[in-house]
Amino acid sequence: MNKDRIVVIAAVLIGVALSIGLVATTVNSNDIIQNNELEISGLVYENTVLHTTNTELENNLTIANDRITNLTYQVAFQGKRADDLAIQNDLLKSEITELQLQTEELTRQNSLLRSEISELQIQVTDLTRTINMSNASELKTLAFHVCEKGDGYEWGRLPDVNYTYSQILDLNNDMYEVLLLPEYKGNENWTEAYAWIRSNFAEIPIMLSVFEGGNKADNSPVMQLNIDQISEAVATCNVRWLRIAEMISWYLEHPNLTFPDQYIASILDFARTRGLRIQWGEWKINDGVFQRIQNYITGFESIVTVTFQTNSGESEPASAFLSISSMFQHWGGGIQSWYWETRDLGTELDMPAPLLVEHAVSAKNMGAEMLQFEPYWYFFDNGETTESLRLLMTMLT
């Protein structure tokens, strides 16, 4: 075989090979194209599905946003309603508080009215009893406070005891035993007081004060005479009565001090031995004061006259007189113009005389056995009788 023939054969073989390769390649390319087309179709379908899903999601998002907007509006609306309701609630609370205050005030006023009605009912009862007892008076003794304030005072002076006492006797018309209750410069110095009493009251029947509380800086009583001092006064002066002035009331206001039970016992024994009577007066009506007196005077009831002092702010005189009248065998009244000052209505000199006289007459008509009057300067102007005393004696005699 020659060289050219070999070349031709080789060329033919190469061509055949290339044709076969080309055919194979073409066949493979068609498969790839078909596969790609299938993939593209699949991708297009998926894209369509995704687009549809995206559209649905966008629609759902729009709906959700609309709902959010609506809910936001509703929240804002409800918030405003809540604010309005809170404001209304605060207003209602304020109105309720105001109504509660008004209710409390009305309750307080109602309580006061009930108390006033009760007090008026008591007064009516007392006055009724006073009227019914108007012919049952057992009044026997009148005691008048007199004093000497000393130099430097334009009032509270007693230049002539006998003259002053004689004026009372003229007004008394021999109806009652009349005693004087002497006080010298507040009774702060018993030696001076006793000398003055002995010099001026030798023949005048007196009620001797043995205890007076007062307001000393050291919280001790102004006067607390011992038995020797009392005995000396009784031996040299015309002492008919002893006076215990507001002793329990004073000790209740000095709770750090011990009440002198033995002192009271010694006074009671002395008085009974010497044939003297005792006036025991108290202004306190509460705290069991008069019940305590009952205990202290057990066995001495016949010589002790217990009096309610009208300088009290705890009771009206008629009510207190009614109370003690049923507690004691002998009782009376301490009639004082200090009543007016105690109630912050003015000074003791401002008390209307008719009201003081009413207190005295009500006690008399309820059966009081003795009445003691003070202060001196309400009934006397430096020894001269005042219109208040003249009116009092006119009504009592």
Residue 287 region by backbone torsions, left for phi larger than 0, else alpha for psi between -120 and 50, else beta: left
Helices within 133-179 (DSSP H only): 161-172
Strands 380-381 and 384-385: antiparallel
Q: What is the pLDDT of residues 203-222, one digit of tens each?
A: 999 999 999 999 888 889 99
Helix (H) or strand (E) holding 62: helix 3-132
Question: Quick one: pLDDT at residue 266?
Answer: 98
pTM of the model: 0.67
The closest of 200, 139, 97, 202 to 330, measured between CA atoms, is: 139
Q: What is the pLDDT of residues 211-262, one digit of tens each?
A: 999 988 888 999 999 999 999 999 999 999 999 999 999 999 999 999 999 9
Least confident piece of the model among 6-10, 138-142, 369-373: 6-10
pLDDT grade for 134, boundaries at 50, 70 and 90: very low
Question: Quick one: pLDDT at residue 297?
Answer: 98
Query: What sign results for the dihedral spanned by CA atoms 362, 364, 370, 374?
Result: positive
Dihedral angle, C-alpha 155, 161, 166, 167, nearest 10 °: 0
Measure the CA angle with vertex 212, ends 163 and 299; round to 5°. 100
Q: What is the pLDDT of residues 140-158, one digit of tens each?
A: 999 999 999 999 999 999 9
- What proportion of the chain, given as a percentage, has pLDDT over 90? 64
CB of 205 within 8 A of CB of 197? no
**Higher confidence at residue 226 or residue 57?**
226
Block residue for tokens 């230049």:
159
pLDDT at 280 over 80: yes
pLDDT grade for 328, boundaries at 50, 70 and 90: very high
Which whole number is the average pLDDT over 85-94? Answer: 86
CB-count burial class (<10 Å; 0-12, 13-18, 19+) for 98: exposed
Give the number of other CB atoms < 10 A from CB of residue 90: 10
Q: Thinking of the domain 138-396, which architecture would CATH place it in?
A: Alpha-Beta Barrel (3.20)
pLDDT grade for 19, boundaries at 50, 70 and 90: low
